[in-house]
């Protein structure tokens, strides 16, 4: 009798484990900016993003340039009052369930984050809009590339 109960308990436990086991996640289909190579290039270094960061009505030239292909490193340069302030550091891409990316990167005074991306055909990013830390506070920025 004990063996029969033990066998039944094992079968019940196995059935419960199967019933409660999480389903495997489906693979994400990446869309605009979902991979770090969408910002830097996969085989060759892509073109830099160039634009402005604006704080309190004052525009500052801003460049976000890939350091090398197939690597998550950017050089961010913001010109403030005639002085260029540059940071080279790793960046992070966070991807939502639709495969769309959001980029987080370092600036000389903190962090920058995208609030909108525009991509040409495919997933290559051609425009980034967001907020970036400057010594005077957070500035809204837009940078683009061909």
Per-domain residue ranges for the chain? 37-144
DSSP designation for 74: E
Give CA angle at 130 (28, 81), nearest 5°: 145
Around Cβ 66, how many Cβ atoms within 10 Å?
Answer: 24
Give the model confidence (pLDDT) of 14-67 as tens digits: 554 455 556 666 666 889 999 999 999 999 999 999 999 999 999 999 999 999
Structure confidence at residue 121 as a pLDDT band (50, 70, 90): confident
* Cα 136 to chain centroid, rounded: 25
CA quadruple 79, 87, 66, 130: dihedral, nearest 10: -60
CATH architecture group of domain 37-144: Beta Barrel (2.40)
pTM of the model: 0.80
């Amino acid at each position: 009798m004990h063996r029969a109960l033990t066998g039944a308990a094992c079968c019940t436990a196995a059935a419960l484990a199967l019933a409660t086991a999480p389903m495997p996640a489906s693979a994400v289909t990446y869309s605009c900016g979902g991979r770090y190579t969408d910002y830097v290039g996969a085989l060759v270094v892509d073109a830099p993003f160039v634009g402005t960061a604006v704080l309190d009505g004052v525009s500052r030239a801003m460049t976000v340039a890939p350091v090398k292909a197939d690597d998550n490193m950017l050089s961010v340069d913001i010109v403030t009052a005639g002085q260029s302030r540059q940071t080279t550091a790793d960046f992070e891409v966070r991807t939502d369930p639709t495969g769309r990316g959001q980029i987080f990167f370092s600036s000389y005074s903190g962090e920058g984050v995208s609030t909108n991306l525009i991509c040409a055909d495919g997933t290559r990013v051609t425009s980034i809009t967001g907020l970036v830390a400057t010594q005077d506070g957070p500035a809204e920025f837009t940078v683009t590339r061909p």
